[in-house]
Amino acid sequence: MPEYRAYLIGHDGLIVNRADMICEDDDAAKERAQLAANAGQTVELWQGTRLVATFPNSPGNHADGGSLAEILVGRSATR
């Protein structure tokens, strides 16, 4: 399965954190990255040197079920 990196981008445009993910494909990786964006973080999703997608934060639409790192690596509990 492909490896991805999701970079959480702060309000100042700098990388705040990074999460490594292994996902079935681009679509699965995008779904996880979108959850983090819904939790109020801008996320850039990369596979190696290829930018897959950028998700601007959506602070009015908060995700539930775990920390951002848990969301990104797919360990959040379903609630």
Domain annotation covers residue 34: yes
Give me the percent of the chain exceeding a pLDDT of 90: 48
Task: Please give the structure tokens belonging to residue 39.
Answer: 């939790």
Task: Please give the structure tokens belonging to residue 32.
Answer: 């996880």
Domain annotation covers residue 78: no
Calpha distance 58→17 (Å, rounded): 18
Domain annotation covers residue 18: yes
Show the domain range for 34.
3-73
Q: How confident is the model over 4-33, as a mean pLDDT?
A: 92
Domain annotation covers residue 10: yes
Give me the percent of the chain exceeding a pLDDT of 70: 73
Residue that is written with structure tokens 């970079």 in the block: 7
Domain annotation covers residue 30: yes
Please write the tens of the pLDDT for every residue from 51-74. 999 999 876 554 444 456 666 665
Domain annotation covers residue 52: yes
Domain annotation covers residue 79: no
**DSSP assignment letter at 14:** S
User: How many domains does the chain contain in total?
Assistant: 1
